[in-house]
Structure 1
């Protein structure tokens, strides 16, 4: 006489039914957990790429390299149809790159190299804002320390109370930290 698989389970008694029930429940729980696990190309902080660049240096070469890096990054994300949020936070010597003021008598005074390259750097930096959607932010502590008014800062630059605090806040929100060396 041949029994169906279900009939064999019932014929085997309650302990086999209990074991099979636990196995089925475990399998369902595992499947549910795995369905929540990121698959394939999933990213740690979601599908949006979030990056913060830290600019506290005086070198026009480093700023130029950073602008090129950001342009290449955002162009890649655009080509991949991937959302992104790229921020550049300027503080300390970085203020030199978001104003046309010479800031004579301050530690951040424009030197001959910056004056020679300022127009090109300004154009490229503001191009990142208008063409790539990059957001520029400036430490207001630095601005106040050198005596600049908000009107003396490029219009596209948003003030933040503290540059270093802003970088930490963005990292807490899942932004990846980059600084060009």
Structure 2
């Protein structure tokens, strides 16, 4: 009887719950306004704090493109200190920079635009957001 009950419980329990899966959040940033950039980072901190208090893991990827790419531009980011600190404090936080936007910015300026080391370049910010949602990430746009 115990085996039958256990089998029924396992059959009704989502696989993700059994594996202790993390919450997954994709944060969309396409504004270069310092208030919008700070709001996105506040959202990241608040989500992380909430799940930490629940004893649950959360994976967060912040994807910036268009004017929002300024968030990661070395020497120009109005939130550089926060990005650096948050990157060190949270191993489950990724910062992704749109390669399309970076290429266009570099062409417009006639030189390479340096990004902060905390950011990784993805081919397309929009495509990256689609991929993350297809992988089960919840979408947040502050």
TM range (shorter): 0.7 to 0.9
Task: Pick from 126, 133, 137 the counterpart of residue 175 of structure 1.
Answer: 137
For structure 1, which runs of at least 5 residues remain unmatched after alignment?
1-27, 103-113
| Aligned counterpart, 1:128 | 86
The residue aligned with 2:67 is 93
8 A contact 2:83–2:118 mirrored in 1: no
Measured after TM superposition, the shift of residue 68 of structure 1 is 1.2
C-alpha deviation, 1:81, in angstroms: 2.5
Q: State the 1:33 CA deviation.
A: 5.1
Unpaired segments ≥5 residues, structure 2: none
Q: TM-score, normalised by structure 1?
A: 0.64
User: Of the candidates 115, 118, 142, which is equivalent to residue 101 of structure 2?
Assistant: 142
Number of aligned residue pairs = 132
Q: Choose between structure 1 and 2 for higher RCO, CA contacts under 8 A separated by at least 6 residues.
A: 2
Query: How many Å separate the matches in 1 of 2:46 and 2:71?
Result: 20
CA RMSD of aligned residues (A): 2.5
Q: CA deviation at 1:34?
A: 5.2
Structure showing the higher strand proportion among its residues: 2
Matches within 5 A, 1:11-50: 32=7, 35-38=10-13, 47-50=21-24
Shift of 1:140: 0.4
Tell me the TM-score normalized by structure 2.
Answer: 0.80
Instruction: Confirm or deny: 8 A CA contact 2:32 2:70 kept in the other structure.
Output: yes
| DSSP 3-state at the match of 2:132 | helix
Q: Are residues 1:156 and 2:130 paired? A: no
Q: Deviation string for 1:50-73 (max 9, x for gaps)?
A: 000011112211111111121121
